[in-house]
Amino acid sequence: MIEHMIWMIPVLPLTGAIINLLIGKRLPRRVVDSIAVGSISLSFVLAVTAYFHLISLPADQRQFTDTVYTWIGLGSFQVNLAFLIDPLSAVMILIVSGVGSVIHLYSVGYMHGDKRYSRYFAFLNLFAFAMLLLVLSSSILLMFVGWEGVGLCSYLLIGFWFEKIENARAGMKAFVVNRIGDFGFIAGFLLLFTTLGVKTGIWSLDFSVLKSNIALVPVAVLTATGIMLFVGATGKSAQIPLYVWLPDAMAGPTPVSALIHAATMVTAGVYMIARMNFLYVLAPDALRVIAIVGALTAFFAATIGLVQNDIKKVLAYSTVSQLGYMFIGVGVGAFSAGIFHLMTHAFFKALLFLGSGSVIHAMSGEQDIRKMGGLAKKLPVTTATFIIATLAITGVPGFAGFFSKDDILYNAYVSPYGGTFIWLLGVLGAVLTAFYMTRLVLLTFYGKPRMDHHTAEHIHESPKTMTVPLLILAVLSAAGGYIGMPEVFGVHNVFAQFLAPVFNSGFAVPEGSHTLEWTLMGVSVLAAFSGIGGAYYFYAVNTELPARMAQSFRTAYAWLLNKYYVDEFYLKYIVGGVLKLNTILSLFDARIIDGAVNGAAKLGKKLSDFDGAFDRIVVDGAVNAVGDGVVSAGGVLRKIQTGLVQNYLIFAILGLALLLSFVLL
Amino acid sequence: MLSPISLQDYLILSGLLFSIGVFGVLTRKNAIAVLMGVELMLNAANINLVAFSKFIDRGIQGQIFALFSIVIAAAEVAVALAIVIAVYKTTRTIDLDKEDSMKG
Amino acid sequence: MSVTSYTIQAVFFYLFSAVIIGSALMVVLLRNIVRSAFALFFTLSGVAGIYILLGADFVGVTQVLIYIGGVLILIVFGVMLTHNVYSVDIFNKLGTLVMGTISAIVTFTIIYYSVKPVNWLFIGFKPDLPTARPIGTQLMGTFLLPFELASILLVLAMVGAAYLIRSEVRGTSQAGAGDPGNEQRQDTAGKKVH
């Protein structure tokens, strides 16, 4: 039965969104949030049901499609409004609806008292709907609808407090940068569509059809398509060079940041690459590009994260960096490792953001970690959960992030598409991650309180609706990794096995020896602990050191603090370049074209002086005669226009009769 | 002894009714009387639909079409009367000879 | 079907046709618009009779319910709300009258000559079964989408009609637009000045 209820998973949040958008203002707040939280929770329940139905099937038949109706039918080309459940989309809907529900619940406490309460929940539901549509769709076109929907909702929610101009700008920036990526996405799938259609006559955008016919497409086209699709992914998933919108996206309410960063939106790109795995395994060059971009993003975003002082900015760059890891995973062909990290990251990043929201809530809106400190005593639940998330993201053995990150790094090392360079960047990124996360924890929760007296008095633990989600996510962050324990521990990798049917495209990451795996694992553990230890030394033992370091490496510090001036670079050279091109063109216009035009005009003036005489006498005479004729004819004909509808109708009917009589006679 | 009624007879009946409707629409001065003429024309069309349904339609699609037509006619009358009343309230008349603001 | 039943049908057909044509002529010719509306009642009833003669019992009943019960009542309301019944000559100028007559005759001629020579496909008489059930089934099945659209259309028409009236009430509230008696007095007063 659940096979035919899949459509309800995305439709439920959509319904909630519509209700709240239309009549939410008139409903009491309790009803508004019940509708929002209830609809997404029901989706989650359905997703769980679908998941259990899926695992009750034999491993090679774990796939079913719920076709609602034919959306576009043009001869043999059909696009169905159909939802596809296979292990990959099952994992994704569990993450999206599960983490999404928790964030909805948290929002009830966080947005308490906001004046656009119902609109907020409507947008949040709409966001969940778009993301569920994206992951459930069975064709690229429908996926693109979700893809754009996610972009729209991010714009709406990032600029939610649009009274402040920066917030509105951040929303706009996210939207525009995403549009650049979307262009790549559209170009990519249209290229694939037309090439396949022209070459073989199979016009389809359906994943299953594409999958079975992909080998008929030339490799060069596959590589081009793969890279264009990846451009789309860099936009949505904030990779170099289109990551700039994500840190600005912190302007939205904190639960929105959590939703964008953890459960939806940014994971869309990773999901899309994983979904198109059948294409990428045939286009190794595209995979290499993905892996390198991912590795560079993982490293550089982590370096920026080192010196940021805004609690949410640190987390934003950490998201960019962690997404880089996911792209390393999918880029080296280890799709299940990438999706595994996507899942664990969803848990701990949602937890980190919700924790930071709790901190900001307690600090009466303060986000600068230099003005925090010593919060551990006053916010016990927040602190404990935040530390668990930190341990998970840094990759301390036993926590969720450890297994997934290790899986990716191991695959990066042994895969033919990876290599030492990518692995090394990944490990360095891990050290930096450990460093900045520990720094964040130490500056926020420990040490001497640095906030002013007034704020300090108001610090209080958040309400139950906010702490319960934190606890749920903390459990998941701590234990979520065990479903993907690598085989080196003597167990089966349950997660990879579950996803294996989706990724069985005849591509295998070569087996490394167990010694190698243990060694690599040792290195990443060492990386994590060295980062933590370094940060502890800098920010707990020798607390003047950071300031002195910043002093002596002033240039490097400024570069990091200003995010490598990438925003300025884009503004100056890309936006500025377009403007400069405009200036050049307008100069060209003014000097050369206008000059030519003026010269021609002078010549023309001479000619026309002569012409004028001829004109006045001969031509004007003729024209006036014609004009007078028209005026008098108009005077007669105008009487037909009586302004009476019935007269017009008579003419219409007689005219029609005339036409019909030609047919009949 | 009368011969059985054929499709032609119904069509001619509806043609007559339609022409009378056209006459009403074209000659009446009162906007509401014009509306009545429109109703006659719509009824003529509906007779056609039902007659075709009886004689050359194997199902009852023609009747269903006639039902939709009736529904739309109802909507049309409601809106048209609203317009007539609105016009009346601005110009104080529904005499179509006086509604000549489109005069050229 | 027996010959007598054909005869009976023919008798009823001519009866209904006479009612329809006669009363339709009254609708378009009578000077008093209230009487026109009353004649329209007979036309619509006659058409309902034709429907039933054609074996379309459901459409016939709908005709009675919607046209006679709804549309006609609306028209009568419209007459009462807008017009001083006995004042204005309801025919147009003579020129229009002539042109309208010509148009109507031309229309009928064209219809007649396009209907008459055609050898219509005839699939035989169907038994006259009750149609309510198949119509209901098809409306909920094959024609579900048009059915839903029709309901939307009705809502829109209702809202639109209400809106058209309401905005005028607002605009001319001083003139006592809510009170037809008052309007009529003003109207006739205006006529006298002419």
pLDDT tens digits, one per residue of C6-60: 888 889 999 999 999 999 999 988 888 888 888 999 999 999 999 998 888 899 9
Residues of chain C numbered 103-122 and touching chain B (CB < 8 Å): 103-105, 107-108, 111-112, 115-116, 120-122
3-state helix, strand, coil in chain A (%, to 5): 80, 5, 20
pLDDT at C177 over 60: no
* Confidence band for A506, pLDDT divided at 50, 70 and 90: very low
pLDDT of residue C187: 43
Q: Name the one residue in this structure whose structure tokens are 């079409």.
A: B65
Q: Is C6 exposed, middle or buried (0-12, 13-18, 19+ CB in 10 A)?
A: middle
3-state secondary structure A604-616: HHHHHHHHHHHHH
Q: Which residues of A touch C99 (CB under 8 A)?
A: 650
CB C110 within 8 A of CB A660: yes
Is A99 in the same domain as A143?
yes
d(CA A120, CA A25): 11
Provide the 3-class DSSP secondary structure of residue C91.
strand
Which tens digits make up the pLDDT trace of A296-350? 999 988 888 888 888 888 898 899 999 999 999 988 888 888 899 999 999 999 9
Is A148 in the same domain as A118?
yes
pTM for the complete prediction? 0.63
Sign of CA dihedral B12, B13, B14, B16: positive
- Interchain pair C106, A646: CB under 8 A: no
Which tens digits make up the pLDDT trace of A549-585? 777 777 777 777 777 777 777 777 777 777 777 788 7
Is A542 in the same domain as A576?
no
Q: Which residues of B46-83 are buried (b: 16+ CB within 10 A; e: fewer)?
A: bbbbbbbbbbebeebebbbbbbbbbbebbbbbbbbbbb
- Whether residue B99 lies within 8 A of chain A, CB to CB, comes out as yes
Is A111 in the same domain as A256?
yes
Q: DSSP per residue over A286-313, as a string? A: HHHHHHHHHHHHHHHHHHHHTT--BHHH
Is A429 in the same domain as A527?
yes
CB A253 within 8 A of CB A106: no
Cα–chain-centroid distance for residue A278? 22
- Residue C10 C-alpha, separation from nearest chain B C-alpha, in angstroms: 6
- Whole-number Cα distances in Å, A493 to A337, A340, A489, A499, A552: 11, 11, 9, 10, 48
**Average pLDDT in the A236-256 region?**
85
Measuring CA to CA, which residue among A136, A106, A100, A88 is closest to residue A33?
Answer: A106
Q: What's the total number of domains in chain A? A: 3
Q: Which residue of B has its CA nearest to A640?
A: B104
- Interchain pair B104, A638: CB under 8 A: yes
Q: Which residue of A has its CA nearest to B98?
A: A644
Q: What is the dihedral of CA C22, C23, C29, C34, to 10 degrees?
A: 160
d(CA B33, CA B18): 15
Residue A224 lies in a domain: no
Least confident stretch, A45-59, A274-288, C117-131, C147-161? C117-131
Q: Which residues of A196-225 are buried (b: 16+ CB within 10 A; e: fewer)?
A: beeeeebbbbbbebbbeebeebeeebbbbb
The residue that leads in pLDDT, A164 or A554, is A164
pLDDT at A641 over 80: no
Sign of CA dihedral B84, B85, B86, B90: positive
d(CA A223, CA A192): 10
Give C167's Cβ-side CA count (13 Å radius). 10
- Whether residue B94 lies within 8 A of chain A, CB to CB, comes out as no
What is the rounded average pLDDT for all residues in chain A? Answer: 85
CB C40 within 8 A of CB C72: yes
**Packing angle between helix A29-56 and helix A8-23, nearest 10 degrees?**
170
CB C182 within 8 A of CB C84: no
Is A549 in the same domain as A625?
no
Give the start-to-end residue ranges of the domains of chain B.
8-91
- Whether residue B102 lies within 8 A of chain A, CB to CB, comes out as yes
Q: Which residue of A has its CA nearest to B102?
A: A643
Q: Which residues of C touch A664 (CB under 8 A)?
A: 110, 113-114
* Confidence band for A115, pLDDT divided at 50, 70 and 90: confident
- Interchain pair C103, A664: CB under 8 A: no
The 10 Å Cβ neighbour count of residue A172 is 16
Cα–chain-centroid distance for residue A26? 32
Percent residues over pLDDT 70 in chain A: 98
Measuring CA to CA, which residue among A64, A68, A191 is closest to residue A140?
Answer: A191
CATH fold, domain B8-91, is Helix Hairpins (1.10.287)
Is A287 in the same domain as A254?
no
Which tens digits make up the pLDDT trace of B13-68? 999 999 999 999 988 888 888 889 999 999 999 999 999 888 887 778 889 999 99
CB C90 within 8 A of CB B28: yes
Q: Which residue of A has its CA nearest to B96?
A: A644
- Whether residue B87 lies within 8 A of chain A, CB to CB, comes out as no
Q: Is A115 exposed, middle or buried (0-12, 13-18, 19+ CB in 10 A)?
A: exposed
What is the rounded average pLDDT for all residues in chain C? Answer: 78
Which tens digits make up the pLDDT trace of A455-474? 777 788 888 888 888 898 89
Specify the DSSP class assigned to residue A482: G
A427 CB-near residues (< 8 Å, 6+ apart): A409, A523, A524, A527
Q: Name the one residue in this structure whose structure tokens are 């069985």.
A: A504
Q: Which residue of A has its CA nearest to C102?
A: A654
Q: What angle do CA B68, B71, B77 make, to 5 degrees?
A: 140
Token output for A323: 């997404």
- Interchain pair C100, A660: CB under 8 A: no
The residue that leads in pLDDT, A329 or C4, is A329
Is A20 in the same domain as A161?
yes
Residues of chain A numbered 646-665 and touching chain B (CB < 8 Å): 646, 649-650, 653
- Whether residue B34 lies within 8 A of chain A, CB to CB, comes out as yes
- Whether residue C159 lies within 8 A of chain B, CB to CB, comes out as no
- Residue B91 C-alpha, separation from nearest chain C C-alpha, in angstroms: 11
Q: Which residue of B has its CA nearest to A648?
A: B26
Residue A272 lies in a domain: no
Q: Which residue of C has its CA nearest to B11?
A: C115
**Residues facing residue B28 across a β-bridge:** C91
Residues of chain A numbered 611-640 and touching chain B (CB < 8 Å): 638-640
- Residue C17 C-alpha, separation from nearest chain B C-alpha, in angstroms: 7
Q: Name the one residue in this structure whose structure tokens are 């009886």.
A: B54
Provide the 3-class DSSP secondary structure of residue C85.
coil
- Interchain pair A650, B102: CB under 8 A: no
pLDDT at A503 over 90: no
Residue A390: which domain range? Answer: 283-561
- Whole-number Cα distances in Å, A57 to A7, A52, A84: 20, 9, 15
- Interchain pair A645, B101: CB under 8 A: no
* Confidence band for C3, pLDDT divided at 50, 70 and 90: low
- Residue B2 C-alpha, separation from nearest chain C C-alpha, in angstroms: 5
Cα–chain-centroid distance for residue A177? 10
* Confidence band for A623, pLDDT divided at 50, 70 and 90: confident
* Confidence band for A229, pLDDT divided at 50, 70 and 90: very high
Q: Give the C-side interface with A, CB within 8 Å.
A: 92, 96, 99-100, 102-103, 106-107, 110, 113-114
Is A334 in the same domain as A458?
yes
Is A290 in the same domain as A350?
yes
From the list C99, C113, C114, the residue facing A650 with the nearest CB is: C99
The 10 Å Cβ neighbour count of residue B88 is 22
pLDDT at A214 over 90: no
pLDDT of residue C176: 42
The full length of chain C comes to 194
Residue A364 lies in a domain: yes
pLDDT of residue A508: 58
- Residue A169 C-alpha, separation from nearest chain B C-alpha, in angstroms: 46
Q: Which residues of C touch B73 (CB under 8 A)?
A: 66-67, 71
CB B66 within 8 A of CB B50: yes
Measuring CA to CA, which residue among B31, B26, B68 is closest to residue B46?
Answer: B68
- Interchain pair C110, A661: CB under 8 A: yes
Provide the 3-class DSSP secondary structure of residue A629.
helix
Q: Which residue of C has its CA nearest to B96?
A: C92
The residue that leads in pLDDT, C24 or A73, is C24
Residue A269 lies in a domain: no
- Residue C122 C-alpha, separation from nearest chain B C-alpha, in angstroms: 6
Q: Name the one residue in this structure whose structure tokens are 């008093």.
A: C32
Q: Name the one residue in this structure whose structure tokens are 């034709």.
A: C50
d(CA A10, CA A46): 10
- Residue A657 C-alpha, separation from nearest chain C C-alpha, in angstroms: 7
pLDDT of residue C92: 55
CB A477 within 8 A of CB A403: no
Residue A191 lies in a domain: no
Is A347 in the same domain as A380?
yes
**Average pLDDT in the A490-518 region?**
71
Q: Which residue of A has its CA nearest to C100?
A: A650
pLDDT of residue C179: 44
Provide the 3-class DSSP secondary structure of residue A73.
strand
Q: Which residues of B touch C102 (CB under 8 A)?
A: none
- Interchain pair C103, A654: CB under 8 A: yes
Count of H helices and E strands in chain C? Answer: 8, 0
d(CA A607, CA A136): 72
Is A410 in the same domain as A513?
yes
pLDDT at C180 over 70: no
Q: Which residues of C touch B70 (CB under 8 A)?
A: 59, 62-63, 66-67
d(CA A46, CA A40): 10
Residues of chain B numbered 22-51 and touching chain C (CB < 8 Å): 22-24, 26-33, 35-37, 39-40, 43, 46-47, 50-51
A539: left (phi over 0), alpha (psi -120 to 50) or beta: alpha
A217 CB-near residues (< 8 Å, 6+ apart): A192, A195, A196, A199, A225
